[in-house]
Structures are given as C-alpha cells and as structure tokens.
A and B are shown apart, each in its own frame.
Chain A
Amino acid sequence: MTVRSMILVSNDPESRNRGSEKIFTEFQRQLTQYDLADEVSITLATDLGSSYASPLVIIYPEAVIYGPVTPEDVPHIVEEHLYKGRIVDEKRAPSHELSGKVAWLSARQGTLPAENRVVLKNVGIIDPENIEDYIAHEGYQALGMALEMSQDEVIDLIKASGLQGRGGAGFPAGLKWGFVKSTISDKKYIICNADESEPGTFKDRVVLEGDPHAIIEAMLISAYAVGADEGYIYIRGEYQLAIERMEAAIKQAEQYGFLGENIFGSDLNFKIHVHAGAGAYICGEETALIESIEGKRGEPRNRPPYPTTFGLWGKPTLINNVETFANIPPIVRNGADWYRSLGTPSSPGTKVYTILGNVNVTGLIEVPMGITLREVISIYAKGMKNGSFKMAQTGGSSGSIIPASLQDTPMDFESYNKTGVSLGSGALLICNDEVCIVDLAKVLINFFRVESCGKCTPCRIGTKRAYDLLVGITKGQGKLEDLDELQNLSREMLELSNCGLGQTAGTPIRDMLNYFRAEVEAHIRLGVCPVGVCQMHD
C-alpha cells in the first residue's frame, strides 16, 4: 500500500527534552488504533531547525506544522487530521515562533505539493510535429506581446521575474540578457545550450522532443530583446529524435513566417541553425560549446572575456539552457508577479527534476522551487524500492551528495548554497543503503576522468589521481594518507581548474569525506566494505 501521509516529529536535543520520543510512540499507538499504520509513515527528524514551538510535528502532504505538541495532543491530531482530514488549527505553530528550516514551510502557499507545470505544460499534450497545435495552446502569443514592448521592457520583465539560469549555475537570466543588449556590435548571436550531458539529466530532451516551438519562440523573444539576428541550438548528438523534431519545427516556423525577415511585420529578422554535438560532456560548458560550433576541439576558453561580449566568432552571444528558455514565453504571457508567486522568494518559479535510482517511480517532475527531498521521495517517487534512503546525488556529476540528514532542506538555490551543497542541473539520483559511498564516488570521478578535455593540468591529472586512489580503496589497498591527498586534490581542482568541469570534479570527494568518512575509513582501517559492494581485493 502506498503511504498517503507522512509525519515528522522533531527530535533535536531541545525537542527530546520536551518529550518528542513519547510523542513519537503515542503517534504509533494511535495510528495502529485507527488502523492507519499502513497508510501513514512516521519518522523522527533530527534536523528541522530550532523553534520556540518545539517539539514540532509536521504532517505532509499538507505541510502543516503543529507545535508545541504534547503527547496528550496526539489522539486529537490523529483523529481530526489523519482520520477525518481536518486540520487542527488551534494546535498549529504560530509562524512568528518558527525559525530556521521550518520557517519557509509555514509560508508556503497551497498545501498539496502537486506538480506545477510551466516548462512542461505542453509536453505530452500537444503534437510536437504540428505548429498549429502549438499555436492553439497560446503558442507565439508571447512573441507578439514582446514585440509590442520595447527591448528594455522585455529585459526588465525577465529581471523582475527573478528567473535564474536552469543549467546548474543559477545566474540571473535578465542580467545576462542586459549584458548582451548593452554590448554594441553589428552582429550578435543567441545560443540555446541543449548539450545536456550531466549524468542523470534528461529534462531538456523531454522539452525539445515534446515542445520544440517553445524554444524557438523563446529564442525569438531573446533575439528581439538583445538585438541578435542569428541563433544556434546545440543539441547533443545522442539526442537523435530531439534533433529531428527541432529541425522540423524550424522548417514549419519558417513557413509560417515566425522565422525569417520582418517577423510579425516588425524589424526583427532571425534564423536558427541546429548544431548536433559529437559526444563530449565538456561542450555543455558555454565557451567549449562555442569552440565546438566553430569546428574546433571543445576546449573551454579563458574567461573573461565572457561570451556576452566575446562569444561565437568573437561576437556578443547570449547562451541560455533549454529549461531557462522554456520559462520565457510563460513569463511574457503571464507577467513577473505571476512567476514570483511560484517557488520561493529567492528562487522563483518551478524546477524540473529527473528522479532516478532505487525508488519505486523514476521519471520527470516539475514542481515549485523549495520542496524537499523527503517530499520528492515519498510523494513523487512513491518511496524507496528496497532498503532505506542513504543519500541523493543532485544535478548530475557536478552536483552534491546529499546525506539523508539534509533531506528536509528546501531545494532552492539559496538554501542549498547556505547548506554548502548544490542543486546542479536537476537530477536526483536517490540511493538506498545498498550503495557504497566509495564505489559511487569512484564512478562519479571516473566520469570526469574520461570527460576531462585535458587542457589544464589540475583537472587532467587530478581526476586521474583521485580515481586511482579510490580504486585502491575499493581493492583494500587504501591508506589513511590517501584521504588527505583526496581532500587536497578536491580543493586544488576547485581552486586551480580552468572551467566548471574541473572545479566541480572534486565535489563527490568533498561530500564523501564530509558526510561518510566513517564508511570510507572502514574500507581502510578494517579492510571491509560495510555495504558489501567493493571486492576489497584485486
């Protein structure tokens, strides 16, 4: 039976003093009495943030926070909230007494964290090979609206919406548009970065395959705003269907006059080329991507100058990720205030995640920024497939490893930064307790070792050296000094590498040593892999 509700009882030292464990057992007793034990899960959570209203009880999916709760309150809460479905208002924690991690939760609008589709709105609903279907679903309306505005008004709108780049770095999109607009040049380019190669990420593929015209429309709007007349969509070569659909969509858009000269009777001229990648992760880095379009090895350039001033063939170039572009038409149609009503104040909008790993349901979801990993696992992924949740890896290989203890951190750029982890590109690789941290880190580092372009030494040698050390540990040949060397390598790669690949290559090592050091040391000191994955011999 799937779990329909989830109870969290805060179990920080303060809450424990005030009887949180009694509350926990009382909940268990009451749930059994009401025959709800199969439908409602209950967990003690150590890290919900401090509160004057401790002990706290949070009930999902409504995300209601009760507190301070006493064991005597429990029967009433179970009967009213979980049995009859009525929220017990008088026991809700006063929001001014909440601080830290739970404060955002009480401010969250709406209760059920249902999927909220902005980027994927048309995907699976319209026929991606038929432009008329797109037009019937508000397609190319935003372009018309943008052309009625001044260039600066469009850029101000994107700035006001707070849209952040969805490729992984989270740079404010409106700011980037402004940079390109203010660079004076007779020629400017728009590039859509669809070289989606982060392991575990396939959100852009789904948008390209399911709603290609949305990307064309967004590129047109950006072209108008920054004053560009030519664009490229760089799609990774493995995405054959996406390439075909995109090429077909461009042809249709040309036939209908959305691409070409004097679009909608305005001064806007724009054409789009599709460039197929040839298989290189590094080409997702924007300057490597530009080199690759120019027909060279995909090696990142030194920055500055940034592409906004010196991009494709030396001209100012606006590069945005597919998901970033897909947000543009809805923002133009519905306004910045609407967009800001989604997500969290510092990270407006929605985020598309790919859910992977040892869970019951894998696939793609689009939800407001700020939901938690715990919600993703229990609600959208329908729980762990086997074993219990050990860690999640976010955002492909350059994302962080999030231990189970951080699963209540809201997933938005700001909260994750503060916690010292990264949201990355939106992949959520969810691992159970049968996954060995050393084995996982080894696979992640191997990816960087293979994909390093070799241009700069810290990355080329660092990834190789780190991989060898990790392989040694999985074979029972590790020494404690290796951990110091790994730590140093991870820092050196971060500080000395030329581009994002090398800079983030050490993240899995850093997180491994931060959160799972005991497990790593067991491999070395005791010569065993606690999970039983590593062979521990040659």
Chain B
Amino acid sequence: MTSDGIKEAEEVNSIRKIVANIGSTRADLIPVLQAITNKFGYISQPAIKELSDLMNLPTKEIMSVATFYRMLSTQPRGKHVIQFCESAPCHVVGGREVFIALKDALNLEPGQTSPDNKWTLITTSCLGVCGIGPVILIDTDLYGNVTPDQVKNILSRYD
C-alpha cells in the first residue's frame, strides 16, 4: 500500500467513527461534516464518497451542503486559518487599515493559501464580538481592538 493509500484508509476509519458517534440520519449530516472539517481541516473527495455510502445520500447532495456553509471547507487549508471580519462595525473602527496590513504581512489575497501551507487568509462576516473591533480570528484565538502595527507581532506567535 502506498503512503497515500494508508492515509486514505486511516481517514475512512475515522470518518466511520465520526458517523457512528453522531448518527447517520439526514439531520446528522451537518454535524458530521463539521466534525470532519475540525479533524482534517477540510472535507476531501474520498471523504464525501465514504459519507455517501455510510449515510445513504448522493455525493452531489453532500457536496451541495458542504459548499453552502462557511465553516465547512472542501478545499485544503493552511496550517493556520486567519479569519478577518469584514462587516461594517469592524470596518468603521479601522478594520480597513488592519486588513491592508494583514494582506501585506502575509502577501496573500483573501481565499489564498501561502505556498508553504502555513497560512490561509479568509474574510468572514460578523463574528459577534463587535464591542472590540476590529477583530481577527486565527484558528480559535480571537484578537480584538487590533491596530495595523500589531499585525506582525500577532502573526509571529504562530509557527
């Protein structure tokens, strides 16, 4: 078996575990996809095929749900995912300037992943912590009241 094959077999195993834990009815689909994204960073095509068998749903149905929700991803992402809030409350308190600093520091446009697979930069709608905007979410770490000159320092905390 190739190393890719081993990896795929492991993935199939954990997907089976996830479905066994959560359930295989239609209503369980989104929690299952959520759990797969959390574990692997994204939902791969083999994962969708496996789910299709386990949950008795056409792959197109699963794909259609997986691409609908922002917190689910069907594309591989970098080691760290940076979510920048682009909604109005952050925007008017200096979010625009922070976003320019962030794009410059990473040399990325929204939606892109860095060539070394370290960073993925995405924009997001309101994260519900507007009292402390502008807000950046890196993986599960939330940074509030961010100013452009803090951006480099924040990024340097991750390796």
Contact = CB atoms under 8 A, between A and B. Distances in A.
| A and B from one complex | yes
Interface of A: 196-202, 205, 236-240, 275-281, 292-298, 354, 356-358, 362-364, 393, 396-397, 427, 429, 431, 435, 439-440, 443-444, 446-447, 450-451, 453
Given A202-B130, A205-B128, A354-B131, A278 B30 contact: yes
A239 B125 contact: no
Given A197-B125, A356-B131, A278 B72 contact: yes
Given A295-B29, A356-B89, A199 B72 contact: no
Contacts, number: 117
Best-buried of B69, B87, B132 by chain A (most CB within 10 Å): B87
Nearest to B28: A295
Contacts of A276: 31, 34
Interface string B73-109: 0000000000000111101110000000000000000
A276 B28 CA distance: 11
A431 B92 contact: yes
Contacts of A396: 126
A429 B126 CA distance: 13
Contacts of B130: 199-202, 354, 356, 362, 427
Contacts of B33: 278
B26 A236 contact: no
A198 B129 CA distance: 11
B110 to A, nearest CB: 11
A337 B128 CA distance: 34
A348 B27 CA distance: 38
Using C-beta atoms within 8 Å of the partner chain, give the interface range for chain B. Answer: 35 or more
Interface string B129-155: 111110000001000000000000000
A174 B94 CA distance: 42
A357 B68 contact: no
A393 B92 CA distance: 11
Contact of A393 (B88, B127, B133): B88
B87 A199 contact: yes
Interface string B8-25: 000000000000000001
Nearest to A444: B88
A200 B65 contact: no
A357 B92 contact: yes
Contacts of A197: 125-126, 128
A446 B92 contact: no
Contacts of B2: none
Nearest to A440: B88
B92 A295 contact: no
B3 interface: no
B86 A297 contact: no
B89 A357 contact: yes
A397 B70 contact: no
